[in-house]
Amino acid sequence: MKDRGYVVEKLYVTFDALARPDAPPRDRLENAYISSLMRLKADDFPDDFKARFEEIVAALSAVENPASGSVKASIEAMSDDEVAKMIDRICGLIFALK
């Protein structure tokens, strides 16, 4: 596991991006991933959280699109409900790590 302080910092930035009331959920999700989550790897997490993190990353990079990038394309392909659930999953991971 990487330095816990580094991981906590990146997760704080992630949560801050997700909690912004001035942006639509899709934009918040994309910004959260690009601004900090993408800098983390599964090995940065305790063993019992690695799979949860890998599932989030896989879902946010599932759609290939060289023009707009896989994260943007993956989020655009999600329904509004899927976007909300992904935000909940990320927040759940953050709070479970405390």
**Look-up of token digits 């409900």:** 81
Rounded (5°) CA angle 96-7-5: 105
**What local confidence, expressed as pLDDT, does residue 1 receive?**
59
Per-residue pLDDT tens over the stretch 10-33: 999 999 999 999 999 999 999 999
- What does the mean pLDDT of the chain come to? 93
pTM: 0.91
Report the distance separating Cα 6 and Cα 56, nearest Å. Answer: 19
Per-residue pLDDT of the chain (98 residues; tens, 9 = 90+): 568 889 989 999 999 999 999 999 999 999 999 999 999 999 999 999 999 999 999 999 999 998 889 999 999 999 999 999 999 999 999 999 87
Matching residue, tokens 């993190």: 53
Q: What is the per-residue pLDDT for 5?
A: 87
Query: Looking at residue 28, what is its pLDDT?
Result: 97
Domain of 34 in residue numbering reads as: 4-96
Tally of structural domains, the chain: 1
